[in-house]
Amino acid sequence: MPKRAYVSLNDEGRWALFAGDGSEDYPEVLAVGDPFEPGESIRAVMEQLESWASENDYVIVPPDYSKNDEISLDDLTDLTDE
């Protein structure tokens, strides 16, 4: 059975593949891709990370837990105009 992994940016702004579901205090980095660049380059780096995951018996899923403490649920659900 494949192990879980998720994609996020690392501390250096590079795409990275992390082991687990996002609940880990110290995420395990499995693979690091290119630096984040908006646009079409995202597709290429995702294909590279997906290929690495598949070759190493991982399945990429969205993390169950967000690592971003700066965004609250209220911020995401507030639909009123200010």
pLDDT for the residue 81 = 52
Q: Is residue 82 part of a domain?
A: no
Tens place of pLDDT per residue across the chain (82 aa): 889 999 998 989 999 999 998 888 888 999 999 998 888 888 888 899 999 999 999 999 888 776 555 545 555 455 555 4
Q: Is residue 59 part of a domain?
A: yes
Number of domains in the chain: 1
CB atoms within 10 A of CB 59: 13
Spell out the SS3 assignment of 21-74: CCCCCCCCEEEEEEECCCCCHHHHHHHHHHHHHHHCCEEECCCCCCCCCCCCHH
Q: Is residue 47 part of a domain?
A: yes
pTM (global) more than 0.75:
no
Q: Is residue 64 part of a domain?
A: yes
Domain span at residue 10? 3-77
